[in-house]
Amino acid sequence: MPELPEVEALAAFLRENAVGRVLTRADLAAVQAIKTFDPPLSALGGLEVTGAARHGKFLDLDVSGLHLVVHLARAGWLHWRTGLPPAPPKPGKGPLALRVHLAPLDSDPPAPGFDLTEQGTRKGLAIYVVRSPAEVPGIGRLGPDAMAVDREQFAALLAGRSGQLKGALTDQTLIAGVGNAYSDEILHAARLSPFKMADKLTDDEVIRLYDAMRAELTDALDRQLGQQAATMKGEKRSGLQVHARTGLPCPVCGDTVREVSFADTSLQYCPTCQTGGKPLADRRMSKLLR
């Protein structure tokens, strides 16, 4: 799932390439993806793109005061294209959810634009056309942004939270922008167990976690900006130490990266770095054994 670094890199790409162009047309291909009806999608046509921003994991294109807001869900992506076919796409099957046409600038015909796509059969990509981003329910509920929260505020948020660190870091209403992949990386860099209780951290552990969060997100954002996110076919991460690396050696200590599975997700961690060498109980396994 695209998280803060990926979505921020897409917003940066749009600021550089879409802002200043007129949005000529938006063609909806996946009817279930759009969650609003007033203003209609067609209201964006003929208006200039004036900004692009990120709220948590939401991407926000400002089109002269109207906002095209997108949540990319698990497998969504924004793919910049030059020379889009003029004929409207056929709705229904395939990865295309929305195609946005932009006007060419004097020097660079043909007209560019972008596709919002979603791979896989479980469709979760969500599109909103609103007058203010805060009208999107998921944005209205966001906690402070992971790149904006300061250390004191971060400590206070964790102190007020009863529950495990993994859940706290990925709860968008507590801290916005971190998802499953980067929470694994942040906890590994901070040498903390994902199951440690958020309100039981020492001052030193809070500082380690905060510093790891900032460092991991900053490094990931630099890598995403470097590879021009929107020109990629989809989300592509590099430099991960534990996430999605079950069974491989930890780059820090050489121990084997392990996994805990849940109903529809999983987490990865290194026992030596994070849990004093002790493997965590896999709840799915323990349920089977009970």
Residues within the interface to Zn ion (CB under 5 A)? 250, 252-253, 255, 270, 272-273
CB of 102 to Zn ion, least distance (A): 46
CB of 48 to Zn ion, least distance (A): 50
Query: Residue with structure tokens 């470097």?
Result: 226
CB of 185 to Zn ion, least distance (A): 12
CB of 68 or CB of 273, closer to Zn ion: 273
CB of 43 or CB of 215, closer to Zn ion: 215
Task: Supply the DSSP string of the chain, one letter for each residue.
Answer: ---HHHHHHHHHHHHHHTTTSEEEEEEES-GGGB---SS-GGGGTTEEEEEEEEETTEEEEEETTEEEEEE-TTTEEEEEEES--SSPPPSSSSSEEEEEEEPPPTTSPSPEEEEEEE-SSS---EEEEESSGGGSHHHHT--SBTTT--HHHHHHHHHT--SBHHHHHH-TTTSBS--HHHHHHHHHHTT--TTSBGGG--HHHHHHHHHHHHHHHHHHHHHHHHTTGGGSSS------SSTT-TTSBPTTT-PBPEEEE-SS-EEEE-HHHHSTTPPPP-HHHHHHH-
CB of 154 to Zn ion, least distance (A): 24
CB of 146 to Zn ion, least distance (A): 23
C-alpha neighbours within 13 Å on the C-beta side of residue 259: 14
CB of 103 to Zn ion, least distance (A): 51
CB of 156 or CB of 253, closer to Zn ion: 253
CB of 35 or CB of 191, closer to Zn ion: 191
CB of 248 or CB of 253, closer to Zn ion: 253
CB of 277 to Zn ion, least distance (A): 10
CB of 48 or CB of 255, closer to Zn ion: 255
Contact 49, 62 (CB under 8 A): yes
Give Cα 86 to chain centroid, integer Å: 30
CB of 135 or CB of 259, closer to Zn ion: 259
Of all residues in this chain, which one has the CB nearest to Zn ion in the complex? Answer: 250
